[in-house]
Amino acid sequence: MTDAARIEAFLARLWSERGVSVHTVAAYRRDLMMLSGWLARCGLDLASAGPAELQDYLADRLRQHASTRSIARQISAWRQFYGDASRHGQCGDPTTDLQSPRLPRRLPQVLSEADVDALLRAPALDTAIGLRDRAMLELLYATGVRVSELVGLVLGQIDLRVGWIRIQGKGRKERLVPMGEEALHWVARYLTEARPAFLPVRGGDALFPGRRGRPLTRQACWHRLRALGQVAGIRKRFSPHDLRHAFATHLLDHGADLRMVQLLLGHSDLSTTQIYTHVAQARLKALHAAHHPRG
């Protein structure tokens, strides 16, 4: 069995059993093929590699100035691959004693409430695209959904009567998230006044279709958001995911319970959500330094 065949078989199982995203599959494929290519130059393959070879590969990557984050991601891919191969009796697991580099805690960038308000008001409401953009922005900020979850929404996942949306998140886990009155208003207006302009004669069920009636892509959503950020006068670069960060941080700023935020974000582990408490603390410290006479 070739390395390429081993990798594709592993990725197929990973996708079908754990429901990982296509982006995760692509990243794992890239990392495993890089290791396979390096081993081939040493006369080895993935099945015959041992701990020493993996350490040598990592040392080679570090000499090429690979970042610790890149190294950690590759080790994670190897652990998944070799764990799966070991369970299926294909080879042993040489990653058992492999240590991942310690990553520095990186606080996410958070837009201020004033920035978000300016961004929400940026779309031109006299056009179908503007109404669609306003509805998308309101929904992103009101629910904290990932951009991949947003562009994947279909009409059957949204209930305007009760004001909830049903999200299928990572690992195909579903969660119900309330929309809030503002987002509900703008989505309802968009559906009535703007969405039909994007649909071909046969129609479609994508909540946010693009110009040709197909679901809007992640890249198109990023492009629209950056253009609207310029209109809103936001000078720092940001992405749709920063609205997810803003959603979580602003909820905590206003007294929300951490576990409630965890459920709304769809985090399986509370420790993932706790990063936002550090963001809130950092913001409080900055405010104290700026405004207290002895700050």
> Which residues are designated catalytic?
146, 170, 241, 244, 267, 276
Q: What is the DSSP letter of 220?
A: H
Stated as kind and residue range, the H or E segment containing 181 is: helix 181-193
One-letter amino acid at 181 equals: E
CA distance 239 to 223: 9
Q: Are 21 and 170 contacting, i.e. CB atoms less than 8 angstroms apart?
A: yes
CA distance 46 to 101: 22
Q: Are 116 and 243 contacting, i.e. CB atoms less than 8 angstroms apart?
A: yes
At 175 the three-state DSSP class reads strand
Q: Taking Cα atoms as reference points, which of 48, 40, 36 lies closest to residue 8?
A: 36
* CA dist list (Å): 4 to 7, 45, 269: 5, 10, 33
Q: Are 205 and 195 contacting, i.e. CB atoms less than 8 angstroms apart?
A: no
* Sign of CA pseudo-dihedral 69, 82, 148, 164: negative
DSSP string, 12-44: HHHHHHH---HHHHHHHHHHHHHHHHHHHHTT-
Token digits of residue 290: 């700026």
Token digits of residue 153: 């929404």
Q: Are 218 and 147 contacting, i.e. CB atoms less than 8 angstroms apart?
A: yes
